[in-house]
Structure 1
Amino acid sequence: MFRYAHTNMIARDHKKLIAFYKEVFHCRSIGETRDLRGEWLDRLTGLSGAHIVGEHLCLPGYGEDHPTLEIFSYDHMEESDPKINRCGLAHLAFEVDDVEETLKRVLENGGGQIGELVTAEYPGGKRAVFVYASDCEGNILELQSWS
């Protein structure tokens, strides 16, 4: 069997970031909290004394069993500045009814805006509204709406 299971985000403050995704994007708690440590986790992560806490949130538009957004914090973490054009995971994209209203909620909940809100025309008469934003910890988001 193959199926997409989750995307993991490491947060400075997992409780604050979990609250952000619940408030802005309607992610839901499904009772999958974590408080992990032990020799098996040290071997898995390659870290000595690793300790992880956090929660899996059900993404909007999906049932209770997957995929999830896994938001964790480690006791000890490395800092970096995410950039829109860096190699690796670039952003999380959410299709929303109203990009401007969702961007407003992002900003009200401690997030930010990257670049401008734009409208793009696609073949076949499709039209999309896009904006890049960031969550309350600086992770990059794409908000999009199609008509």
Structure 2
Amino acid sequence: MQINKIHHVAIICSDYKESKKFYVDILKFSIINETYRDARDSYKLDLKVSDRDTIELFSFPFPPPRPSKPEACGLRHLAFEVDNIEENVDYLISHGVAVEPIRIDEITGKKFTFFKDPDDLPLEMYEL
């Protein structure tokens, strides 16, 4: 078996318009394709994060909330690489996004912090 890379990350949101605004207008991910699937009463929004990374944002009627406190088994968080963490933190805060204090990874010595999307999905910024 050979896996080349992660193809995409899929996220299910509770409020499509709010999450679309967050990922497109605030995080500045560009739209690749937007599809409404009538049979599922669901949107699928393909977002370009970088030249090689994509997110699929799904909406479904009445999805259950994400268990996270205490953390549940499963995907813990999604991390985004940034060049300047302070600039990105300031930008998010200026757009009303709560951001945790910047910390230093005790293993790598690199700066990182967490913030959340509209559905409390934990997102990380990691400075290389």
State the TM-score, normalizing by the size of structure 2: 0.78
Offset at 1:29? 0.9
Of residues 96, 117, 123 in structure 1, which corresponds to 2:102? 117
Offset at 1:9? 1.0
State the SS of the aligned residue for 1:113: coil
- Summarize the alignment of residues 15-26 of structure 1 with structure 2, pairs less than 5 Å apart: 15-26=17-28
Instruction: Please list every run of 5 or more consecutive structure 2 residues that lacks an aligned counterpart in the other structure.
Output: none
Offset at 1:137? 2.7
Offset at 1:28? 0.9
* Aligned position for 2:59: 73
Supply the distance in 2 between the matched residues of 1:36 and 1:118 (Cα, whole angstroms). Answer: 41
State whether structure 2 residue 122 is matched by structure 1 residue 140.
yes
Contact 1:20 1:136 in 2 (8 A): yes
Deviations 1:26-59 (A, max 9, x none): 31111x1121143xxxxxxxxxxx3211311011
Q: Highest Rg: 1 or 2? A: 1
* Aligned position for 1:11: 13
Offset at 1:79? 2.0
Offset at 1:136? 2.9
Distance 1:101 1:24, change over 3 A: farther
Of residues 112, 119, 128 in structure 2, which corresponds to 1:130? 112
* Aligned position for 1:35: 36
Contact 1:112 1:135 in 2 (8 A): no
Q: Which amino acid aligns with 2:120?
A: G
Of residues 25, 48, 62 in structure 2, which corresponds to 1:58? 48
Contact 1:109 1:136 in 2 (8 A): no
Offset at 1:134? 1.1
Offset at 1:84? 7.3
Supply the distance in 2 between the matched residues of 1:104 and 1:86 (Cα, whole angstroms). Answer: 30
Q: Which has the higher strand share?
A: 1
State the SS of the aligned residue for 1:130: strand
Instruction: Please list every run of 5 or more consecutive structure 1 residues that lacks an aligned counterpart in the other structure.
Output: 39-49
Contact 2:14 2:62 in 1 (8 A): no
Offset at 1:80? 3.3
Supply the distance in 2 between the matched residues of 1:128 and 1:4 (Cα, whole angstroms). Answer: 23
Identity among equivalent pairs (%): 25
